[in-house]
Amino acid sequence: MESLLDGEDSPMAIDHSAYFRTPKPRPIIVPKLHHATFMTMDVDAMVHFYELVCGLQPVYYAAHAAWLSNDDANHRIALLRLPGVHPPVDKPHSAGLHHTAFEYGTFDQWLDNFIRLRDLGILPTICLDHGMTMSMYYADPDGNGVEIQVDAFHDWELSKEWMWASVEFSEDQIGAQFDPEQLVAARESGLSGDEIHAAARRGEYTPAEPRQQMVFDDPWPARIAEDPALADGVPFPPQEGN
């Protein structure tokens, strides 16, 4: 199957070596990524999804906004329902954020989460062994991607080194698709997470119908068909005197 990032216009086909050879000024104090914020038309649906999938609990929750966290931070995801927000047009192929990502500490935790979500009727759109991570990609109610991953090296320094130095990654940044049900069966047969990762990289768990593009299905046409008022967007509040 052709790579999901193949093509002469692919960013992976561009020679970036000059960039890395040129000294760049670096900030002395480097900030850490803290949170992502989404505009949405349905705060309740988004809160419910992120609570189920990522364990994000509301720190503050109102009809027009919510701030969610699953660790010590005051929030990791913010959701805003602002007047004038309207459905996107062709969201899967529009420029912008592709996905956020959350990481489990162990292979077993990660695979157990798949089973938990599967039993709730929540299934991944595409599953990929990237080499440095094993990743399952879900779509939230608005069609935003959510990656649930586990580090294949159990160590960020090692996985970072592999990305930097590996010929394998330089030739294929996407990796091998896998069927998560086959991973569950492999673990039940006695294979370890490392053995399953190696087999996935060899293509032993390829799904019966691999996806041809790393894009998420567009939920908006069906949502608008069900509720045509969504097409008008979030209404502005009435002005005083009107």
Q: Which two tokens stand for residue 33?
A: 């990524």
- Residue 238 has what pLDDT? 80
- Residue 13 has what pLDDT? 58
Q: Tell me: the pLDDT tens digits for 208-234?
A: 999 998 999 999 999 999 999 999 999
Percent over 90 (pLDDT), the chain: 83
Domain at 35-90+218-236, CATH class: alpha beta
Q: Tell me: the pLDDT tens digits for 7-53?
A: 555 555 567 666 666 666 776 788 899 999 999 999 999 999 999 99
Mean pLDDT over 107-131 rounds to 98
C-alpha atoms less than 13 angstroms from C-alpha of 193 in its C-beta half-sphere: 17
- Alpha carbons 130 and 172: distance in angstroms, whole number: 9
- Residue 18 has what pLDDT? 67
Checking if the pLDDT of 6 tops 80, the result is no
pLDDT confidence of 239, banded at 50, 70, 90?
A: confident
Q: Residue 209 carries which DSSP code?
A: S
Checking if the pLDDT of 98 tops 60, the result is yes
Say whether 17 sits in a helix, a strand or coil.
helix
Task: For 178, list phi and psi in degrees, rounded to 5.
Answer: -140, 155
What is this structure's pTM?
Answer: 0.87
- Residue 29 has what pLDDT? 81
Q: Which of 98, 42, 96, 30 is nearest to 66 (CA)?
A: 42
Checking if the pLDDT of 200 tops 90, the result is yes
Q: Which CATH architecture has domain 97-217?
A: Roll (3.10)
Q: Which two tokens stand for residue 174?
A: 């996407």
Q: Which of 44, 62, 86, 84 is nearest to 237 (CA)?
A: 84
- Alpha carbons 148 and 111: distance in angstroms, whole number: 10
Q: Which two tokens stand for residue 47?
A: 């809160």
Q: Tell me: the pLDDT tens digits for 141-182?
A: 999 999 999 999 999 999 999 999 999 999 999 999 999 999
Q: Tell me: the pLDDT tens digits for 159-169?
A: 999 999 999 99
Checking if the pLDDT of 126 tops 80, the result is yes
Percent over 70 (pLDDT), the chain: 88
- Alpha carbons 76 and 21: distance in angstroms, whole number: 35
Mean pLDDT over 182-193 rounds to 98
- Domain 35-90+218-236 and domain 97-217, same fold? Reply is no
Q: Which two tokens stand for residue 37?
A: 């914020």
Q: Residue 125 belongs to what H/E stretch?
A: none
Q: Which of 85, 98, 111 is nearest to 178 (CA)?
A: 111
- Sorted by where each begins, the domain ranges of the chain are 35-90+218-236, 97-217
Q: Are 126 and 179 in contact (CB under 8 A)?
A: no
